[in-house]
Structure 1
Amino acid sequence: MSDLTDLTVAQIRDGFRAGDFSAREVAEAFNANVAAAKALNAFIVETPEHALAAAGQADKDRAAGTLKPLSGVPIGMKDLFCTQGVQTTAASHMLEGFTPTYESTVSAKLWDAGAGMLGKLNLDQFAMGSSNETSYFGNVISPWRRADANGLGGNAPLAPGGSSGGSSSAIAARLCPAATGTDTGGSIRQPAAFTGISGIKPTYGRCSRWGIIAFASSLDQAGPMARDVRDCAIMLENMAGFDPKDSTSLDMAVPQWEAGLSADMKGKKVGIPKEYRVEGLDADVARVWDAGIAWLKDAGAEIVEVSLPHSKYALPAYYIIAPAEASSNLARYDGVRYGLRELPEGANLQDMYAATRAAGFGAEVKRRIIIGTYVLSAGFYDAYYTQAQKVRTLIARDFAQAFEQCDVILAPTAPSAAFALGDKTADPLAMYLNDVFAVPASLAGLPAMSVPGGLSKDGLPLGLQIIGPAFDEQAVLNAGLAIEERAGFTARAEKWW
């Protein structure tokens, strides 16, 4: 039997059910990997006792014949999901030490399904970032290293993507078989692409946002990250579902995505957006994209060109809408009700607000609050926020028209492979451009997935993105499976940590 930590969610679930190993053995193996990988800084809080308690219950349930869908499977939980009795920080100083008295709907569903928690995963502060360099608790480091053949240096620490960089790094390093992520403008898909794993952002509203610390309410969506497409389907089935506590939650039955998996694309049309063939597109990204097209054609799909003419405006529209909503959502952190309170001697209420927010928020969060407050202010609301929302409507209309001609759309996930930590921190606009291919699907609220497509010339993973119509996660997963089977991606980071 291979090392337990090399097994996928499906293999752990099925092997445990077959009696090949105990749930406790699985939990202990992953706990040991987590404890030995401090150098990655993937976890803010480790919870080995939670994983062992769930494993103990799973072993009892197996003996009693009352197994649950995720019995025996330990996972990582992004530290944006409130977990009862376990510190939840959103990787910020503002919420350092905050211990919720309640459980987020998504995490509650996973625990009810039998999963155990290995710990709370690091992220960009309040989910704002593309490299996991904005966390108050320090940078997350990718387990991957560049090949040194081109003289760029094989030891430069690389970004694991963001904001779900702790999740992507932990899965790629075999610290957990799967993890939760959240995607506002690509924060599941881009880190998945950077670390050679899979991740899906479902249709907006599929997974409840209740108990997830808010960034941009009309964009935030929880989703799973795992080693392969099947695991993403298994996880998503146990995360999704209607929640009356969330007014944006979809009141729809949860499909059996795992049972519906099929790599047969016969009769399906795959759209290739001509606007994504931008001048200067990275040669490795273009090569893997062309390979993905060939793989889907081999699976029986017909390839058609589609147009998304307003996608070039997606990034500026996103960086108006998301900061505006962040400015509103983060106004609650004022030192009065919960979280950090800075109260200088002789300070009045206004002084306390200012001191608390100055100390509690990092530079990137402050930047987005300032942008958001500006675009919502009198005299600028119509010029910026209203116009951005109109652009958002046009982008959604473009996708609707494209899906009249095709079943799914194939595009790159990110414009490059992972970059070195520190490479883009001095230039926020260069950092924001990491989201250029991911943001349009977020603005339209569509399901989108990243699967590994190959390696760059530096030996780093590159992801392929599949975008589907609203509510059709099955089509996205199936196209992902067709690519996965043909790409045969088995590369993994060589252990250095």
Structure 2
Amino acid sequence: MSNLTDLGIKEIRDGVRAGSFSAREVAEAHIEQVSKAKALNAFLIETPDHALAAADAADKAKAAGEELAPLAGVPIGMKDLFCTEGVEARAASAILDGFTPTYESTVSGKLFAAGAGMLGKLNMDQFAMGSSNETSAFGNVVSPWRRNDGGNTDMSPGGSSGGSSAAVAARLCPGATGTDTGGSIRQPAAFTGISGIKPTYGRCSRWGIIAFASSLDQAGSMARDVTDCAIMLEAMAGYDPKDSTSLNAPVPNWEAGLNADLKGKRVGIPKEYRIDGTPAEINALWDQGAAWLKDAGAEIVEVSLPHTKYALPAYYIIAPAEASSNLARYDGVRYGHRELPDGAGLQDMYAETREAGFGAEVKRRIMIGTYVLSAGFYDAYYTQAQKVRTLIARDFEQVWQQCDVLLTPTAPSASFGLGEKSNDPIAMYLNDVFAVPASMAGLPAMSVPGGLDSQGLPLGLQIIGKELDEQGVLNAGLAIEQRAGFAARPEAWW
């Protein structure tokens, strides 16, 4: 029997059903892995009791001859953005230190009802604001990957779901939840050589997810292959009356529908994604990805998304604007951290609490958002950005007349060393240049690993699909996965 921590979601699910091993054995193996990986700082809170209880329930059900739940025996990691009943949820921010929800987010509740056990809460960029996992109040997450130059530079796992990507890549868990506002599932997946899918906006309930930008935030799954992403996403998705943006649409059986035969499908290559300064290795992988999809039977066509160049600046107006509104609730009065100097009044407490509780990047985005929403600037910035967003969505609507899915790089670079870009916010924001347009339009999009760069670091390819066509995205991702044959994994140094 192979090492249990090397198994993916499907292999664990099927193995528990077949009696090849017990769910408790799987949980114990992963708990041990998590306990040994402190150097990665991927887990903020470890919850071995939760994982073991779910495992024991699965084993008990199997022994009684009962039908097992879809994820029975599968231990997962939970991004710290999801409220989990009885377990702290801090969004990796000091201002929520000590906040223990008395309720369960819809997504985490669905996963637990499906039989999954939680190994712990995963580190992330504070309030999901960041692309490198360097803004957490509880320390950086370190990627399990290292450059092949013989050095020991700590690498970024991407962000904001960096704890999720690092944990999956390091075999600490077979799957993890992520959230994606402007690329925060796809970019970290690309950086760590795993797969990650952001579904159509509204597929997964946002209820109980700590908000960043409400019109953009969407939960998704991160795992080591396309099939596992499909299995996990199916358990997470579904209509929720508690979320006004939730889509009242049936959840397909994405796993059963997986098919890498793309005969009759057209794959669009958007010319606007050919950006000056993109490394030759990424452009070469993009061309190779097109060749793989052609080999799978697809027709490759060049298409145009003319407003792409405005997506990133529009995003960095809309997302901070929504953040400045959403984060106004953190005042030290009702929950979380409070600063109350001697003799301080109410306004002083607000100011001191927010000064101590929010990190630099969160403050930066709150200030940007407050500025663009202020009198005299609302129409000049926010209203204009919303108009641009409409044009971006219209571009995608028109391009679907020419193709079924789009193929692009996931990120403009491979992973970089921690600290190498942290002093340049603009350079950091540019990490999302390929991911943001799909988020602005609310479309499903996925990153799958395509190969390694010259430094031995993973590179990802992105598939963007039509609204509600997660199946088309997953199928194209599977076609790439089968042809890329990506089997590289980080060597354990932690």
TM-score tier, shorter chain, comes to over 0.9
Q: Which one of the candidate residues 259, 274, 279 is aligned to 1:277?
A: 274
After superposition, residues 31-430 of structure 1 pair within 5 angstroms as: 31-64=31-64, 65-148=66-149, 154-430=151-427
Measured in 2, the distance between the counterparts of 1:247 and 1:156 equals 45
SS class of match (1:309): coil
Offset at 1:347? Answer: 0.8
Measured in 2, the distance between the counterparts of 1:295 and 1:463 equals 14
Give, as a single letter, the amino acid of the residue that structure 1 aligns with 2:135. Answer: T
Measured in 1, the distance between the counterparts of 2:303 and 2:26 equals 46
1:457 partnered with 2:458: no
Offset at 1:432? Answer: 0.2
Measured in 2, the distance between the counterparts of 1:404 and 1:271 equals 10
Q: What are structure 1's unaligned runs of at least 5 residues?
A: none
Query: Runs of at least 4 residues of structure 1 off by over 2 A?
Result: none
The Cα offsets for residues 185-236 of structure 1, whole Å up to 9 and x where unpaired, read as 0000000000000000000000000000000000000000000000000001
1:15 partnered with 2:15: yes
SS class of match (1:303): strand
Measured in 1, the distance between the counterparts of 2:48 and 2:38 equals 14
Measured in 2, the distance between the counterparts of 1:59 and 1:364 equals 45
Measured in 2, the distance between the counterparts of 1:215 and 1:277 equals 30
Measured in 1, the distance between the counterparts of 2:48 and 2:286 equals 40
Give, as a single letter, the amino acid of the residue that structure 2 aligns with 1:441. Answer: A
Q: Provide the identity percentage.
A: 80
1:26 partnered with 2:26: yes
SS class of match (2:143): coil
Measured in 1, the distance between the counterparts of 2:277 and 2:432 equals 16
Measured in 1, the distance between the counterparts of 2:84 and 2:278 equals 41
Offset at 1:339? Answer: 1.0
Measured in 1, the distance between the counterparts of 2:324 and 2:345 equals 23
What root-mean-square deviation, in Å, do the aligned CA atoms of Structure 1 and Structure 2 show? 0.5
Measured in 2, the distance between the counterparts of 1:267 and 1:380 equals 48
Measured in 2, the distance between the counterparts of 1:145 and 1:281 equals 21
Measured in 2, the distance between the counterparts of 1:61 and 1:317 equals 51
SS class of match (2:248): coil
Deviates more, 1:274-283 or 1:101-110: 274-283
Equivalent position of 2:3 in the other structure? 3
Measured in 2, the distance between the counterparts of 1:278 and 1:30 equals 41
Using the size of structure 1 for normalisation, the TM-score is 0.99
1:489 partnered with 2:486: yes
Measured in 2, the distance between the counterparts of 1:69 and 1:367 equals 42
SS class of match (2:96): coil
After superposition, residues 466-481 of structure 1 pair within 5 angstroms as: 466-481=463-478
Deviates more, 1:18-27 or 1:56-65: 56-65
Give, as a single letter, the amino acid of the residue that structure 2 aligns with 1:465. Answer: Q
Q: What are structure 2's unaligned runs of at least 5 residues?
A: none
Q: How many residues align?
A: 493
Offset at 1:154? Answer: 2.7
